[in-house]
Chains A and B, each alone.
Chain A
Amino acid sequence: DVKVTQSSRYLVKRTGEKVFLECVQDMDHENMFWYRQDPGLGLRLIYFSYDVKMKEKGDIPEGYSVSREKKERFSLILESASTNQTSMYLCASSLWPGGYEQYFGPGTRLTVT
């Protein structure tokens, strides 16, 4: 059974803190993605990675960075958290180019106060 896990389901941080969100997949997928989900806006791509140490900006990369040191792990970093980064963060992986289906983790609901 395919699995994408995220390090925390709920997280509360203060403005200005550095925040790390971790994602691990056990499917040996090349591609991994970080999205944020806000009501009425759907899923918006923050960053994606198509190989170890390779990354590309998505549609809303400002205020975020990522790290992929190992194939199975993709981390999202908020360098200095702000209240407008309060959101649901979803990690996904896919078998592309072997398929476009994305497998999602359960999400991390981050609140920045």
Chain B
Amino acid sequence: TQLLEQSPQFLSIQEGENLTVYCNSSSVFSSLQWYRQEPGEGPVLLVTVVTGGEVKKLKRLTFQFGDARKDSSLHITAAQPGDTGLYLCAGERLGNQGGKLIFGQGTELSVKP
């Protein structure tokens, strides 16, 4: 059972388009993180959201944590080829011990010039 469901799993768009990636769960999370992974490398943290309803911006990327802390979204404005990669959401469950995270399946984004 996947506790964090990401959609879509694959996304192929043209440079300049906007896109949104979703990360949904029936569980409540203390916090949620988004990572980006390039081919041949490990994931790298983009952002952590902690408060329900929180919105964070990182240049053209906007991250939102749902009010109930069960879901999150990543919106990219005017995508560029350099945004190509695997985007992973990861949640820290309530009462978690040890710093364990639950990862979604990932969204494979391809931005064509």
Q: Which A residues are within 8 Å of any B CB, using their own CB? A: 4, 9, 31, 33, 35, 40-45, 48, 50, 56, 58, 90, 92, 94-97, 100-102, 104-107
CB pair B99 A100 closer than 8 Å? yes
- Asked, given contacts A40-B9, A42-B106, A107-B42, whether A100 binds B98 with beta carbons under 8 Å apart, the answer is no
- A107→B40 contact, CB < 8 A: yes
On chain B, the residues within 8 Å of A56 by CB distance are 98
Bound Cα distance A42, B7 (Å): 12
- CA–CA, A42 to B87, complex, Å? 10
Whether B103 contacts A100 by the Cβ 8 Å rule is no
- Which among A48, A58, A104 is the interface contact of B43 at CB below 8 angstroms? A104
- The reply to whether A90 and B42 form a contact with Cβ atoms under 8 Å apart is yes
Interface residues of B (CB under 8 A from A): 2, 4, 6, 9, 31, 33, 40-45, 48, 88, 90, 92, 98-101, 103-106
B42 touches A106 (CB 8 A): yes
Which applies to chain B's interface (DSSP): helix, strand, loop or mixed?
A: loop
Check if A31 sits within 8 Å of B99, measured CB to CB: yes
Q: Given contacts A40-B9, A41-B105, are A105 and B42 in contact (CB under 8 A)? A: yes
Report whether A100 and B42 are in contact in the complex, using a CB–CB cutoff of 8 Å: no
CA distance A23 to B6 in the complex (A): 29
Contact call B103/A42, Cβ cutoff below 8 A? yes
Q: Write out the residue numbers on chain B whose beta carbons fall within 8 Å of the beta carbon of A96.
A: 98-99
Residue of A nearest to B96 (CB): A100
Selected from B33, B40, B48, B106, the residue in CB contact (under 8 A) with A106 is B40
Closest to B45 in A: A101
Q: Is the CB of A100 within 8 A of B43?
A: no
